[in-house]
Amino acid sequence: MKRLSIILITVMLFVAAGLKAQVNLMPNFVLTQVFEDEKSIWPTFTEGVVHYAADVMYIYGEVYVAPEMPDSANHTRPTFRSSYLMPIYSQYKKNQGKINPRFDDEMYLFLNIKYDPKKTYDKIWEQLTPYHEMLTYRVGPKWHEGKLKVIFVGNAPMRTFQQERVCFVAAQGTIADLDKNYDNKVMPLIGIDFENDIEWNGVGKMPFEEYKDFKDIVLRAHKQDKKVRVYNLPDDESVWEVMYTAGVDMISGKSAEKFQDFIEDKK
């Protein structure tokens, strides 16, 4: 009897340790960490990250993860397919239809197009096709709801998105796009560039009038059933607090660990 009790206590301690080690999911965080190789994304799958953003560029028939044009044709930049698409699909198959086993909603993958949006879109369309089962995409007027929504940021070919019979991606809009009221399937969110769209530099308190105007933008987007993402902002908890309080849906940052601490304090 004593031995059985010891075994039960040991099992309970292991279970408790496992639960404690399980990190919080961060559905309101978009990781903008620059991945330098094809293996970099793998550790982030267990760090509570569910949304990602990457700079991509079409170069000589391939889409690479690159913030700027490489200096040489012999560069070693990872491809979009190898560093994002294939690992994410591997998780989807491993977890039987979920990219993260604890996350039931859509994962967002933001692609910031740095060069030649039309060729980039055409190549990405070609590469996404074999993985369509996990994607949110449109065929004619009908949408297939998947687990991964690919979002083009900047220079999105909106006419192509709207007119193409099969469309695998959607667009991140700007504040000006709120006046155009695009369909929230084609444009599911509005992006706010902290560096260019907000006068406050993150030091001290955000002026009340600016905060009020900022919150009104968030409310306008929400009335159109669009999410709001703020990007190019400092990895600073005081800035995140303002965004969080104003109702921003997604906050971009380079440090998943730091944002995890921020969210932990909200519990």
DSSP letter string over 109-178? EEEEE-S-HHHHHHHHHHHHGGGGGGB-EEETTEEEP-SEEEEEESS--HHHHHH-SEE-EEEEE-GGGG
**pLDDT value of residue 72:** 67
* Burial class, 248, CB count within 10 angstroms (exposed 0-12 / middle 13-18 / buried 19+): buried
DSSP-derived secondary structure letter, 95: T
Which amino acid is present at 266?
K
By three-state DSSP, how is residue 98 classified?
A: coil
3-state DSSP percent of the chain in helix, strand and coil, to 5: 40, 25, 35
Question: What tens-digit pLDDT sequence spans the chain (267 residues)?
Answer: 555 454 444 444 444 444 445 789 999 999 999 888 889 999 999 999 999 999 999 988 999 998 777 776 677 788 999 999 999 999 999 999 999 999 999 999 999 988 788 888 889 999 999 999 999 999 998 999 999 999 999 766 677 777 788 888 999 999 999 999 999 999 999 999 999 999 999 999 999 999 999 999 999 999 999 999 999 999 999 999 999 999 999 999 999 999 999 988 776
**pLDDT value of residue 116:** 82
Q: Delimit the domains of the chain by residue range.
A: 26-259
**pLDDT value of residue 18:** 45
Tell me how far apart the alpha carbons of residues 77 and 54 are, in angstroms, rounded to a whole number.
13
Helix or strand (DSSP H, E) at 264: helix 256-264
Give the homologous superfamily in CATH for domain 26-259.
Phosphatidylinositol (PI) phosphodiesterase (3.20.20.190)
Tell me how far apart the alpha carbons of residues 262 and 244 are, in angstroms, rounded to a whole number.
11
Tell me how far apart the alpha carbons of residues 9 and 228 are, in angstroms, rounded to a whole number.
47
Tell me how far apart the alpha carbons of residues 245 and 247 are, in angstroms, rounded to a whole number.
5
**pLDDT value of residue 8:** 45
**pLDDT value of residue 21:** 56
**pLDDT value of residue 17:** 42
CA distances from 117 to 58, 78, 137, 232, 259 (A): 8, 19, 19, 21, 31
Residue in the block written with tokens 């560029």: 57
